[in-house]
Every structure is written in structure tokens, then in C-alpha cells.
Amino acid sequence: MLRKKIRSEPADGRKGVGPLIPPLAETQRPLRQQVFELVRAAGLIPRVQVAKDLGVSPASVTTITSELIEAGLIEEVAAPREGEAGRGRPAVALGVRAGAYRVAGMKLSDREHTAVLVDFAGNLIADDVIPRRPGPMSLTEILDAIEALLDRVCAKAGLPREALSAVGIGVPGFVDSAEGTVLWSSVLADRPVPLAAAAGARLGLPVTIDNDANLVALAELWFGAGRGLSDFAVVTIEHGVGMGFVMNHRIYRGAQRLGLELGHTKVQLDGALCRCGQRGCLEAYVADYALAREASTALNWGHKESQPINVLLESLYDHAKAGNATAKSIFRRAGRYLAVGLANVVNLFDPALIILSGERMRYDYLYAAETLDEMDNLTINTGRPRPPIEIHAWGDLLWAHGAAALALSAVSEGLLAPQAREIAAQ
């Protein structure tokens, strides 16, 4: 829809210039929140370094850290002075009080559900995995699975459910994190679903949800390769193709808060049918169901369609490794389409790093040298090197860690920035 915007002129004719930034916007976090986040990111840091890094007075830092210590959020830790081991009084550093709060993070997927428990400093306490049959579930079924998995991982940790402060949940599909609503997901039979509210009511805990690809990016931002980067992209390849993008150290979600659906960008007009109902999506050529569809047709594997998709893909990969030309061509074709998608990411966003993640990264044909060469050919030639690409073939526990980071963010912001949110909402 095209919109024509008409503005009335001010009485004195002055229009004003510059962006209209609301008070206490995202970039204007309260100083106490900035201090806490710096301490959390550093692990251990002296007060004088906090003041230097934030560009504020030591007196302000002393006041704020005293408040945070009194609130039980951070603590003083004795740290040996560099080059003075064993001599004099140890230096005092600040660190997050790990036992102050605990949260859970979960990833719900087509093959299994995973969960982790972490403390307030992000340290892993326990984890667990439960398998499931592929296919969409009713809301009641998925709530049953969430509750069962949470109780299992709490039992592993020796903690009652009431010891947790929040739960973060990641699901594939179109998710409005702010509203807590899943607009569409391959793991849910209904749409839209107010999953955060429903899960919160079932568990008796605050629940925050997000798209699972966003949570992989959040995991990399909190625990992995993205900690020192302001802008990077994570492309996930599993049952679908997802993308999480970090811009200025924050997950970018877009105007409608649905993020960046790389898997549903079009690479072929009137092309292969995607599970979203449209044709020609990148996902329809790269995701696991796309590879299985190609194998059934090109290798005449119709009799194997009753097999679990992961078993069929392992067989396809074994054939490719053994030299089967048709099997190799299936992966090669998928890799070429992936090159198109990655080149588009580079041309659009110019990220400092692209991370390829997910179960399908075990299949090295998808990111073979010829695939990356093709990506280079499709990327605008500026005379400068393209962003590096890293392969992180980690399991679903990484995704659950991202969900835990989402929960930790919700807890810390609720403790440190409630006044800022009230002012911004006025």
C-alpha cells in the first residue's frame, strides 16, 4: 500500500531537521544498565576501568556499583594484581553475582526439543534433550512438551521450577517477540498462537519467545564469535533456512518485528514449491526437505519416503561421499542457490562476518570451495575482500543458549530499566 503523508506547516514556518528520537530510546539506556552490562560482558572488571570504558566519572561509577551490590546483582571479587602475585592487598574487581537469578532457555524444533539452565552470569547449570515425531503440534501438545522438558532439566539441576526467574523459548517461523505471538511455525498446527502468554500461564513463570534463527545470532552475540562485533549475520540451515542479523550489537527485527526471512527470499520465479506456500524461495532449494525431494526424484528413492528425513539425508550424503555423481549434483545445486542467498546478504548488509550454523553444516558440499567462489562472483566487486565466513556445525544446545540469553535480557532489563520504559511509553 502506498501512503501519501501530508504535514501541516508550523505557525512560524520552521520545520525542524534531524531524526525525531523519542526520549530514552534503545540507544539511551540508563547508566546503571550500561554499568551492569559492561560488568557482565567483562566477567571481572575494576571500577576504574568501568569509568574509563563508559566515559563517566569514577564517583558516578562508585555510586551506581554500590547500588547494584546492595541490590544483589553484582559483587566484589578479589583479583590478584598483574605482576604482583603474592604481594600486597589483592585488587578488587566487580562481577555479576551468578546465584542471584537463574533462567531456562528452550529450542522447539521439528526433530527434538532442547533446554538449558543458566545462572545470572550465563554459566551452564544443566541441559537436556527430548526427541519428538516430526510434524505440527497443537498448542496443548506443545505446552505439554515444554512443561515436561522444563521439569526434566530442573530435576537434573536439583532445582524446583520456582527457583527460575524467566524462560526463553525459540521456535522456527514468523514470531513477533514483542507481542509473544507465533504467526506461523512448522511446529504448530494453529496460527496465530499467543505462545508466550500460554506458556507463561502453564509454567507460572515469565516467558519470552523469538524466532530460532534470531536466538542463534543472540547466542553468538553473548557467548560466541559475535561478542566483539557490532554487525554480523547468522544463516541457519536445518529443516528451513533462517537468518539472524545483529546491527549495532542488537538483534535487528524490522518494523513488524519479524526479522529477516532469508529463506523466503526468491531465487527462482515460479520455481520449486516452498512449505510457506509460495514458489521459488531459497529454502525450497536448500533446506532438508528440498534435498530429500531432489533425492526421491533424481535417485528414484520413492520407496524411501517413509524413512525419517535425517536418515534419508545421511544416506544421500554417504552416496555423495562415495562418488555418486547424482547425489553430488544434488548438494552442488543446493550449494549454488546458497551462494545466491549469501551474496545477497553481503550486497544488502555488508556484515563484518557471516556465520553458517545448523545441523546441515555437517554436509560440507553446501559450503565447498566452488560454492564460496560462486558467491564471490555474485557479490559486488568493490576491490575489497568479502566478509569472512565461519562454519559452526553445533547442535541445538547452541540455540537453547540463545533462548537463555533472551531470558537473561528480560530479567536484567526488568530489574534495571523499568523507569526508562515507563518514561518512553508516555
Q: What is the total residue count of the chain?
A: 426
pLDDT in tens, the chain (426 residues): 555 555 555 556 677 776 666 665 555 678 999 999 999 999 999 999 999 999 999 999 999 999 999 999 999 998 766 655 555 566 789 999 999 999 999 999 888 899 999 999 999 999 999 988 878 999 999 999 999 999 999 999 999 999 999 999 999 989 999 999 999 998 999 999 999 999 999 999 999 999 999 999 999 999 988 999 999 999 998 888 999 999 999 999 888 888 788 999 999 999 999 988 899 999 999 988 899 888 888 888 766 667 778 788 888 989 998 999 999 999 999 999 999 999 999 999 999 999 998 877 878 877 788 888 999 999 998 888 889 999 886 666 888 999 999 999 999 999 987 654 444 444
Assign 287 to helix, strand or coil.
Answer: coil
Tens digits of per-residue pLDDT, 259-278? Answer: 788 999 999 999 999 988 89
145, 218, 144: which is closest to 177 by C-alpha?
Answer: 218
- Residue 371 gets the label, from left (phi > 0), alpha (psi -120 to 50) or beta, of alpha
- C-alpha to C-alpha distance for 141 and 138, rounded to whole angstroms: 5
203, 169, 179, 175: which is closest to 191 by C-alpha?
Answer: 175
Q: Which residues of 160-179 are buried (b: 16+ CB within 10 A; e: fewer)?
A: ebeebbbbbbbbbbbbbbee
Its pTM stands at 0.86
